[in-house]
Structure 1
């Protein structure tokens, strides 16, 4: 009996040793660990309540608000099957929600993505699906769509105070809206392209392309955001398709699959930084180094070259709740100026040179004296 107990004790000791060794190995050897997080997706069904949206052809009985809600709920149902995706609806029933509130819901939730769902209309027999991100390129047709979707502002209480100086019927006001920050715009274009590809390649919908426009609902958000126009309720065939249970399920599945693909890409490019990764690799004899700061923000982005327009050996440093991204680390000021020129040619027009001594930031002028 004593021998059996000793044998069991030895086995336990061995297991404990391997556990301690494994933990120690991970803590000392690992440099990049894939982040485990949930991704919050806010789904916004356009219009609602006293705002029916567009009503399609005369006598059709279609209501944009109902179709948008049905599709949004179906998209959410698909996404909720994924354990790492959290879905929030701006509305899950037929109620009126102010445009500013829709964005506020997403911002408060610190969402990773905002998707607003709508249906289009036109006096012609136009048809096809389109996806929009924030911005404006002066296209008159697109401007009319933006003005029509923004007109809901006039139904909101105290809209003059909430949107001071903004007239949804004024081209000048629409054009005057600012573009989304570059980082969010890139991501918005990415998800918009995936959605549009699914509509056209899988459902064979006419491709009305990814476009930029100043929709107020997108302007209110501070994360990657898109507005989807499922199709035209004013087109007899397309209106019938979008108003049908089958059509809504197909459109919803395409959007959900696009969001899942987008989230998968976020997972690949979202990692947890380690101490080893942010150490300085290049120093001079005086421990002076120059770098080009190309970006900063709250998003933790993999330093792969394809995330930085082809720039290689990008360094990421965590500073409080932000991350700073540097390029062209060198001990030579002449060399960092070449890197600055390269970064600006790649599109990082606001890039600038910074200097460090023994890891502490100093002025570039002071660093030049020490070089």
Structure 2
């Protein structure tokens, strides 16, 4: 009887482990700002809300769960300090980190529009930025000494999705259609990575 139990347990363990995703990889989406940190604000529209909505949309439409699991650094309107975000990232050791942000400038309404991408001093970060630039109207790709880029040990890019004080960018980033399209572009990048 004892031998039968061991064989049954062994068969169950083998079957269970065969369904466990052993080589699943993580993609971290960092929705910039949160809580009391509003980020850029224009006419009551805040960066922290735009980035969170788009992060949730990326998580929702990710169809690569068998290969890549999308992890958010914040799933709600929480104020999570940068050191905690990068500590979580470094514990996960993800394939890539995409930190979402929204740009602004001092002008009330600006003609400046489009995406800007900031990168680490690494080939893998630049490669990721180049892939993203093929999907968006990118104004520039530039190396920056920002906490998220400096402290993350994985390929990381910080993407300024558009200008909150540009009418066209603002309408697009806050519309359901625009947020879905932006999320789909990032999913395409993940699938091609």
Asked whether the two chains share a fold, i.e. TM above 0.5, the reply is: yes
CA contact (8 A) 1:76 1:256 kept: no
Q: Give the distance between the partners of 1:80 and 1:250, measured in 2 at CA.
A: 15
Equivalent residue in structure 2 for 1:133, among 115, 119, 122: 119
Q: Deviations over 1:32-72 (max 9, x none)?
A: xxxx822211110000001011002xxx2211000000111
Equivalent residue in structure 1 for 2:95, among 85, 108, 112: 112
TM-score with structure 1 setting the length: 0.44
Q: Give the distance between the partners of 2:44 and 2:105, measured in 1 at CA.
A: 16
Shift of 1:80: 4.8
Counterpart in 1 of 2:82?
A: 99
Q: Give the distance between the partners of 1:259 and 1:78, measured in 2 at CA.
A: 12
- The answer to which structure, 1 or 2, has the higher relative contact order (CA under 8 A, 6+ apart) is 2
Q: Could you say what secondary structure the match of 1:87 adopts?
A: strand
Q: Could you say what secondary structure the match of 1:199 adopts?
A: coil
Equivalent residue in structure 2 for 1:77, among 56, 60, 73: 60
Shift of 1:105: 0.8
Q: Give the distance between the partners of 2:56 and 2:81, measured in 1 at CA.
A: 19
Q: Could you say what secondary structure the match of 1:92 adopts?
A: coil
Counterpart in 2 of 1:255?
A: 186
Q: Give the distance between the partners of 1:215 and 1:63, measured in 2 at CA.
A: 21
Counterpart in 2 of 1:198?
A: 135
Shift of 1:210: 1.6
Equivalent residue in structure 2 for 1:230, among 139, 144, 161: 161
Equivalent residue in structure 1 for 2:27, among 25, 37, 41: 41
CA contact (8 A) 1:43 1:72 kept: yes
Q: Give the distance between the partners of 2:63 and 2:150, measured in 1 at CA.
A: 27
Counterpart in 2 of 1:369?
A: none
Counterpart in 1 of 2:140?
A: 209
Larger Rg: 1
Shift of 1:117: 0.3
Counterpart in 1 of 2:125?
A: 188
Shift of 1:113: 1.0
Superposed counterparts of 1:109-188, under 5 Å: 109-124=92-107, 125=110, 126-134=112-120, 180=121, 185-188=122-125
- Listed as ranges, the gaps of 5+ residues in structure 1 are 1-35, 135-179, 201-206, 263-371
Shift of 1:209: 2.3
Q: Give the distance between the partners of 1:63 and 1:219, measured in 2 at CA.
A: 25
Counterpart in 1 of 2:4?
A: none
Aligned residues: 169
Q: Deviations over 1:255-282 (max 9, x none)?
A: 11112111xxxxxxxxxxxxxxxxxxxx
- Listed as ranges, the gaps of 5+ residues in structure 2 are 1-21
Runs of 4+ residues deviating >6 angstroms: none
Q: Give the distance between the partners of 1:110 and 1:81, measured in 2 at CA.
A: 18
Q: Give the distance between the partners of 2:141 and 2:170, measured in 1 at CA.
A: 21
TM-score with structure 2 setting the length: 0.83
CA contact (8 A) 1:114 1:224 kept: yes
